[in-house]
């Protein structure tokens, strides 16, 4: 316990680092995933298929080590945090792209037909009719991926990112009470993941009460 208390300032820094890395990775990967999904719509997007196949299949740790250890040989040295962000963005984008592709396909085509019959041009249709449905359909799979992704960030300790798992492992080396430290680290990740899940439940519930079931009321 005394180790945890003495190391607490470092843990606070680590929690902060974990949180902002998670936020940066989520924003970039979500926007890239959405952009790729929109680009791929109505196309034979073989390149995107290959990309999402590779990065959904590879273990995160492999991608992470590749970015940290192999890219410097190609003259790209992003450092610990940079490599970790790149690796998780590469993997996250693959998942988000598939989530948004599936959500776009799930939008009721009759809504698009109604929008066309009202003379709405493609961009307006997307913005005013299609994307609001996508937001509702994608919310649960998107949040589920994010809740899992929080835990994956602990892998970043393998490339010396000073996030929660890194500080925990360093503290374990000088502690007589590993259980407390391990439980504490676990609680931090679980708490962040829980925030994501709670937000998803609240937002999803609010949208269902306001707009009815996600797949349309007709």
User: Minimum Å distance from CB 203 to another protein?
Assistant: 14
Choose the stretch contacting another protein; rule: CB under 8 A; options: 3-11, 72-80, 93-101, 105-113.
105-113
If DSSP codes are grouped into helix, strand and coil, which group holds residue 177?
Answer: coil
Asked whether position 110 contacts another protein by CB under 8 A, the answer is: yes
CB 56, min distance to another protein, A: 30
Is the distance from CB of 88 to CB of 153 less than 8 angstroms? yes
Q: Considering the rule CB under 8 A, would residue 206 count as an interface residue with another protein?
A: no
Closest distance of CB 82 from another protein, Å: 39
Of positions 43, 44, 46, 210, contacts another protein by CB under 8 A: 210
**Min dist. Cβ of residue 205 to another protein (A):** 15
CB under 8 A, 24+ apart: contacts of 113-118: none
Nearer Cβ to another protein (20/211): 211
CB atoms near residue 54 (< 10 Å): 13
* Inter-residue contact 3 to 177 (CB < 8 Å): yes
How does DSSP assign 100-127, residue by residue?
HHHHHHHS-HHHHHHHHHTT--HHHHII
Rounded Cα gap, residues 158 and 133, in angstroms: 39
**Stretch in the footprint of another protein (CB under 8 A) among 41-49, 121-129, 177-185, 193-201:** 121-129
By CB under 8 A, residue 218 contacts another protein:
yes
Cα separation, 166 vs 186, whole angstroms = 13
Q: Is 216 in the site for another protein (CB under 8 A)?
A: yes
**Of 30, 49, 5, 48, which Cα lies nearest the Cα of 100?**
30
By the 8 A CB rule, do 29 and 97 touch? no
CB of 113 to another protein, least distance (A): 6
- How many helices and strands (H and E) does the chain possess? 10, 0
For position 54 contacting another protein by CB under 8 A, the verdict is no
Query: Judged by CB under 8 A, does residue 205 bind another protein?
Result: no
Question: Is 119 an interacting residue with respect to another protein (CB under 8 A)?
Answer: yes
* Residues between 132 and 161 with contacts to another protein, criterion CB under 8 A: 132-133, 136
Residues that bind another protein (CB under 8 A): 108, 110-111, 113-122, 124, 128-129, 132-133, 136, 210-213, 216-218
């Amino acid at each position: 316990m005394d180790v945890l208390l003495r190391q607490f300032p470092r843990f606070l820094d680590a929690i902060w680092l974990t949180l902002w890395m998670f936020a940066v990775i989520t924003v970039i990967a979500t926007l890239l995933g959405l952009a790729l999904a929109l680009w791929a719509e109505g196309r034979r997007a073989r390149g995107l298929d290959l990309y999402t196949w590779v990065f959904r299949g590879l273990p995160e740790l492999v991608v992470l080590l590749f970015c940290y250890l192999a890219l410097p040989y190609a003259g790209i040295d992003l450092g610990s945090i940079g490599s970790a962000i790149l690796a998780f963005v590469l993997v996250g984008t693959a998942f988000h792209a598939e989530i948004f592709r599936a959500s776009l396909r799930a939008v009721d085509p009759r809504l698009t037909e109604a929008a066309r019959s009202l003379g709405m041009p493609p961009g307006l249709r997307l913005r005013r009719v299609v994307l609001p449905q996508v937001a509702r359909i994608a919310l649960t799979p998107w949040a589920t991926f994010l809740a899992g992704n929080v835990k994956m960030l602990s892998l970043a300790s393998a490339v010396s990112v000073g996030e929660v798992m890194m500080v925990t492992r360093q503290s374990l080396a000088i502690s007589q009470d590993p259980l407390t430290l391990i439980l504490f680290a676990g609680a931090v990740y679980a708490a962040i993941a829980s925030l994501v899940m709670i937000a998803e439940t609240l937002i999803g519930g609010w949208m269902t009460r306001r707009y009815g079931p996600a797949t349309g009321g007709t």
